[in-house]
Amino acid sequence: MSKRNLEKNIREEMERLNDIIDVKIIKGLPYKKEASRHKFLLMQLMDLRRFYTINSSMLQKLSKVVTSFIL
């Protein structure tokens, strides 16, 4: 699964959970399970972004080093 698809799926599930949580809040029902799932998905999304940001910055630095050796 590509990064884009994974991020899209996580965001869609978070939106569904937000809707469920909103309804439960309005009805006065507990939503602890949904809140913990939402928190888990949020952490996954942050980790996904952090991983790809680190990799892209490392590639940029590596390309600068390689360019300096070639020139």
Q: What digits encode the pLDDT tens for the residues 41-68?
A: 999 999 888 876 666 666 666 666 666 6
pLDDT, average across residues 11-18 = 95
Which 3-state string (H, E, C) describes the chain? CCHHHHHHHHHHHHHHHHHHHHHHHHHCCCCHHHHHHHHHHHHHHHHHHHHHHHHHHHHHHHHHHHHHHHC
Question: What pLDDT is stored for residue 69 in this prediction?
Answer: 66
pTM > 0.75: yes or no: no
Question: What pLDDT is stored for residue 49 in this prediction?
Answer: 83
Amino acid at 35: A
Question: What pLDDT is stored for residue 60 in this prediction?
Answer: 67
- Residue found by looking up tokens 């309005």 in the block: 26
Amino acid at 38: H
Chain-centre distance of CA 29, in angstroms? 28
In whole angstroms, give the CA distance from residue 4 to residue 38: 19
What percent of the chain lies above the pLDDT cut of 70?
70
Question: Domain locations in the chain?
Answer: 3-70
